[in-house]
Chain A
Amino acid sequence: MSGYSTIGGDVSGSVPAAAGADHVALQFQDSNLQTFPPTDARGKLTDTFSRPAEPEQFGWHGYFNLLSYRPYFNVDTSDVVQRVGDSLVPFKGDFVEKTATNPDMYGPFWICTTLIFVTAALGNFAAYLAHKTSSAGDTNWHYDINKVSWSAGLFYGYVGLLPLGLYFVLKYLGVATGLVQLWCLYGYSLFIFIPTSFLSVVPVEKFKWAVVAAAAGLSATFLALNLRTHIKTASERWFLIVCGCFVLQLGLGLLMKLYFFTVQFS
C-alpha cells in the first residue's frame, strides 16, 4: 500500500473518496443506435436537414406511427410545382442541393401514382386508336386491366427499390448519402414521362419512338447529372455508378414504350 499515491491515502480499507482528478464525469454520449428511420441519413446530402425533436417521442415504434413521417411531407404547393419545373431542365445538376434541407416524399409518391394511371389509361387509349385506324372492327377491342397492375409493379418497384439499392451501394463505397434524397430525386425524375404518355397516344410509330427517346434521355440526364455532382468527389467509381443509373433509366423508358404503347395485332 505504500506504493500507492495518496488519493485520500490514509483512509484504511474503504474506497478512496473520489478526488477531483478522478471525477471524470460519466458522460453519456449520444447513442449511435439510431432506430428512428429518418435520422440515419447523415452526410453531404443531409446535414442541413434538421428535424424537429421527434425521435424522443417515438423511439423504435416510430416506424409504425404515421405521424413520424410528417417531416417528409413538409412542402407547399409552390414548392412542389417548383421542384417539378426543375426536373424538366436537366442541365443544372443542383436539384439535390435545393432539396437537401427539405426532401419530400409527396412528389415521388404521387408522381408515380399519376404515372401508373396515366400510362394504363393512355396505353389502352392508344391501343383503341390504333385499332380504329387500322383494322376496321374485325376484332373486338377490350380494355386491358392488366396494364394497371403491371404499371403499378413497374413504377412503384423502380422508384422504391432502385434508390434503396443505390443507397446500399453508395454506403458500401463509403459515400455519404441520404435515402430520402435519393427517393426524392428518382421520383421527380419520372415526372417527364407523364406528358410523354399523353404524346404517345398519336398512332404514328416514329413519333412515339422519338418522343419516348427524348423524354428518357432528358430524364436520365437529369438523374445522372444530379448524382454526379454528389458522388463525384467521394469515390473513384462514380462514373460507373452514374452510367449505370443512366442506362437503367433509359431502360425504363424503353420498357414503358414497348409494353404500353406498342400495339401488336395478333
Chain B
Amino acid sequence: STLTEPVSVTLARDARRVANNLQQIVVFNSNRNDPARTLRDWDLWGPFFFIIALSCILSSTASTNKSTVFAVVFAVLSAGAVSLTMNVVLLGGKLNFLQSLSVLGYCLFPLDIGAILCAAYSGKLYRSAMIFATLLWSSWSVYPFVSTAVRPSRKALAVYPVFLMYISMGLLVLA
C-alpha cells in the first residue's frame, strides 16, 4: 500500500518519524531506564542524516584537506557506531544491532548543533563552552541506553568507548 502513495506522503511520514525519535532520545526520554523500549520505532534515516551533516559541516569549515576531513569524520562516526555496538554485544549485553546504531546516531544531534554554532562564530572561549555543553547533552542522552545494556560490573567498560568517541568528535569540531 505504501507503493501507491505520493512521494510527499512518504517523505512526510519519514520526517515525522525522525522528529519523533529525536524528541524521544535527545530531548525527553520517558523510557530512560528501559533500553529495550527506547526507540521502538527506530529508523536509520535520522542517524544517516546527522552523520552526513556533521561530516559536511566539518569539511566545509576546514581550511585544508577538505575531502580528507569529510572522509575521516564519516569513517570514524560510522565505524565507531558499529564497533561500539559490537563492544556491548561482546561484553555480554543484549542489544538489537540496528536499534543501537540508531540510538548512537541520534545522540549525535547535539554535536551537530554545536558544530553549526561553532561555524557561525569563532571566539575561542565561546566555542569551548558550546562544545562542552553539547558534549554533556550527548553524553546524557546516550548514557542510560548503553549502561543498562550490560551487567553492572562491566558498565564502565561499555560506557567509556562511547564517551571516547563523542569527546574525540567534540575536539575535532573545536579545532
Interface residues of A (CB under 8 A from B): 66-67, 69-70, 72-78, 80, 106, 110, 113-114, 117, 121, 124, 140, 142-146, 148-149
- Across the interface, name the chain A residue whose C-beta is closest to B70: A145
Q: List 30 A-B residue pairs with CB atoms under 8 Å apart, sorted by A's residue number.
A: A66-B86, A66-B89, A67-B89, A70-B90, A74-B92, A75-B154, A76-B154, A77-B153, A77-B154, A77-B155, A77-B157, A78-B153, A106-B90, A106-B91, A106-B157, A110-B160, A110-B161, A113-B161, A117-B164, A117-B168, A121-B168, A121-B171, A121-B175, A142-B62, A143-B172, A144-B65, A145-B69, A146-B65, A146-B68, A149-B68
Within B52-75, the residues touching A (CB, 8 Å) are: 62-65, 68-69, 72
- Min CB distance A83 to B, Å, is 12
Q: Which residues of A contact B62 (CB under 8 A)?
A: 142-143, 145
Q: A140-B63, A142-B63, A148-B72 are in contact. Are A76 and B153 (CB under 8 A)?
A: yes
| Bound-state Cα–Cα, A146 to B68, Å | 8
CB neighbours (8 Å) of A67 from chain B are 89
Q: Is the CB of B156 within 8 A of A77?
A: yes
Complex: how many Å from CA A140 to CA B64?
11
Complex Cα distance, B91 from A77, in Å, reads 11
A66 touches B168 (CB 8 A): no
The 6 closest A-B pairs by CB, nearest first: A73-B90, A143-B175, A76-B153, A117-B168, A77-B156, A142-B63
In the complex, what residues of A have CB within 8 A of residue B69's CB? 145
* Pairwise interchain contact B91-A148, C-beta atoms closer than 8 A: no
Min CB distance B127 to A, Å, is: 13
Inter-subunit contact B175/A124 (CB<8 Å)? yes
Closest approach, in angstroms, between the C-beta of B77 and any C-beta of chain A?
A: 12
Q: Is B36 an interface residue (CB 8 A)?
A: no
A69 to B175 Cα, complex, angstroms:
37
Bound CA–CA A114/B161 (angstroms): 8
